[in-house]
Structure 1
Amino acid sequence: MPDLVALYGWPMLAAMAAAAMVVGFSKTSFGGIANLAVAVFALAMPTKESTAAILLLLIVGDMVAIARYRTVSWRLLVKLVPGVIPGLLLGALFMSMVDDTLMRRSIGALLLVMLIMQLWQRRTAGRPESPTDPHWARAAATGTAAGFTTMTANAAGPVMALYFLAAGIDKQRFIGTNAWFFAIINLSKVPLAAQLGLFTPQSLFLDLTLIPAVLLGAWIGTWVIGKVTQRQFELITIGASGLASVLLLLR
């Protein structure tokens, strides 16, 4: 078995354990903050390899969220599908052509643009009083952006957060729909990541040791989400999306 302490050192292992808790927490509460965990893993190992290492932890969190939240807006999910597959393929192609720095900053810029658009919409139109059905063009663009960002940096959380907030769905339906979307997408990414050679014995063993931290974070997230109002949920989600985009731009 790989010696994880020799590979990463105790401080970085502790940071990755905390990041694994953030993964579980984000899957059952505020999805946008998962990018903080992505940033920690990218500091511990090469960025491209880190995307595969954290991918399996994200899948564990997805499964927990699906089991916990049963309210899903299937209509929103179905409208995203046509754009996701091209986005995944574009992301895989992009990863094979650019370095880590350009990849991070491109995604950060995309997220920042989407956040500004969302804030402008909320200022001019306000939050919908009831769930709305996004136009097919917006859904297709969101699907492509989500596929691209999740393939290149596991950074589609803010993209989907902004999409679901624009649709005006409540926090329970938000989390349940988000969980199903990412479970499907993350599982479909596994063969692509394997083909790119991103999985290593060391990262697989690291994931195995960090699963309990993901489960603990998921339990904490489930408890926290019951304590916040819909308004607080939306504000925290938007704030986390903004922080994630800035981290990717500056890191």
Structure 2
Amino acid sequence: MGLLLVFLAAVLAFGVSTVSGGGAGLLLLPVLGRVVPTSNVPAALTVGTAVSTLSKLALFWRHIAWAVTRRFVPGAVPGVLLGAYLLKYLNPLYLEVLIGLFLLSNLPAAFKRSQPADEAATSERAGWLKLSIIGFLAGFLSGLTGAVGLLFNKFYFRYGLSRDEVIATRAANEVLLHGIKLLLYLYLGLLTGPAWRAGAVVAVAALLATAGAKRLVKYLSESLFQRIGYGAMALSGLFMLASAGQELRTTENLRATTHIFGGDLEITGWWRSGSVTLELEIDDSPAIEQPVIFAELPPPAQAEVQRVQQGRPLIKLEEVWKLNDHYYEAYFNEKGRIKSVNIRE
């Protein structure tokens, strides 16, 4: 059932990808995350997207903007090597949250009037250094997550490439990176059986979707193509944020809660076994609080807590930071009501 879901999602994602200039990988990240382990998702995705990239090269070869590719690839190769290496040490979910926010920020561009290609080309042509830096970033992020090509769609649009040139040039820029990533994932032991199976399903779906969508591309105007591209970026960002947020909530206990405590509004953020609280008081400045235990207090603060306790049950202790101020706060149960006392060293 899981692989069937991957197949259906991949057909839709690669169909959208072909008519929007990319984004299938980002749309598939949440789906693959439910079928294979998180660390194997980039590997499974790369298997499928590599096949899709090769099919796009075959279909759009004559539209490749080689001037861009010659500058893009030399920076991308070391980037993808570094990204794939760090995959074993970094959790890509946090990176997906940042990427998702950036992609979602492109939503307004989907409703703006597109800049003419020749005008964009005149104003946004980049030199060797800028293209190499963009290539390095694309390779690095791709090595960590498996697919971020859509992240750089804005660059291709502003560089003045036509719709066919965007599809072809992106494929030319990424085909070598996919090959390098596959070798690295294989070496790092990330191309497991489930990753190969999911990747093969994605590959078959990619071939079918790309061939079918190729006929549709020629009917799209340059303006509509760009609008669809920006819309796909925003949609991918929304998918990534929802998926990464749910995964972080499950694996890292990342969550937030709000409640009224002692008459003040407290917003608490949880991560793993720790938490940080933002307290909003009606008649005072905001404060950042973190729970502490009595043994962690400095000796003077411990003595002060014992002095003011006066036999009342101690509910909790917090370390408090305010603008130009730092102290501890002790909460006591005083005849069924919560009483707080500021403790200073």
- State the TM-score bracket (shorter-chain normalisation): 0.7 to 0.9
- 1-side partners of 2:21 and 2:137: how far apart? 16
Describe the shift of the 1:87–1:204 C-alpha distance in structure 2 as closer, same or farther (beyond 3 A): same
1:61 equivalenced with 2:48 (yes/no): no
1:40 paired residue number:
31
- Shifted more, 81-90 versus 236-245: the winner is 81-90
Secondary structure of the 1:168 match is coil
Deviation at 1:225, TM superposition (A): 0.9
- 2-side partners of 1:244 and 1:27: how far apart? 11
Describe the shift of the 1:24–1:247 C-alpha distance in structure 2 as closer, same or farther (beyond 3 A): closer
- 2-side partners of 1:82 and 1:182: how far apart? 12
**What amino acid does structure 2 have at the position aligned with 1:15?**
L
- 1-side partners of 2:181 and 2:4: how far apart? 27
Equivalent runs, 1:1-251 vs 2, <5 Å: 10=1, 12-22=2-12, 24-26=14-16, 28-34=18-24, 35-70=26-61, 71-109=63-101, 111=103, 115=106, 119=109, 126-129=115-118, 131-132=121-122, 133-251=125-243
**What amino acid does structure 2 have at the position aligned with 1:66?**
L
What is the RMSD computed on CA atoms of the aligned residues? 2.6
Describe the shift of the 1:110–1:95 C-alpha distance in structure 2 as closer, same or farther (beyond 3 A): farther
Deviation at 1:186, TM superposition (A): 0.7
Deviation at 1:241, TM superposition (A): 1.2
- 2-side partners of 1:228 and 1:239: how far apart? 15
| 8 Å CA contact retained: 1:104, 1:249 | yes
Aligned pairs, number = 236
User: Which ranges in structure 1 are unaligned for 5 or more consecutive residues?
Assistant: 1-9
Describe the shift of the 1:98–1:109 C-alpha distance in structure 2 as closer, same or farther (beyond 3 A): farther
- Shifted more, 132-141 versus 183-192: the winner is 132-141
Describe the shift of the 1:182–1:15 C-alpha distance in structure 2 as closer, same or farther (beyond 3 A): same
Deviation at 1:49, TM superposition (A): 0.4
Deviation at 1:161, TM superposition (A): 1.4
Secondary structure of the 2:147 match is coil
Q: Deviations over 1:63-93 (max 9, x none)?
A: 1111111211001111112321232133124
Normalising by structure 2, report the TM-score: 0.61
Deviation at 1:136, TM superposition (A): 3.2
1:5 paired residue number:
none
Deviation at 1:110, TM superposition (A): 5.3
**What amino acid does structure 2 have at the position aligned with 1:17?**
F
Describe the shift of the 1:206–1:90 C-alpha distance in structure 2 as closer, same or farther (beyond 3 A): closer
2:292 paired residue number:
none
Deviation at 1:27, TM superposition (A): 5.5
| 8 Å CA contact retained: 1:91, 1:151 | yes
- 2-side partners of 1:61 and 1:165: how far apart? 21
Describe the shift of the 1:206–1:154 C-alpha distance in structure 2 as closer, same or farther (beyond 3 A): closer
Describe the shift of the 1:248–1:178 C-alpha distance in structure 2 as closer, same or farther (beyond 3 A): same
Deviation at 1:109, TM superposition (A): 4.4
**What amino acid does structure 2 have at the position aligned with 1:154?**
G
- 2-side partners of 1:160 and 1:39: how far apart? 20
Secondary structure of the 2:77 match is helix
- 1-side partners of 2:102 and 2:137: how far apart? 8
Secondary structure of the 1:96 match is coil
- 2-side partners of 1:159 and 1:29: how far apart? 16
Normalising by structure 1, report the TM-score: 0.82
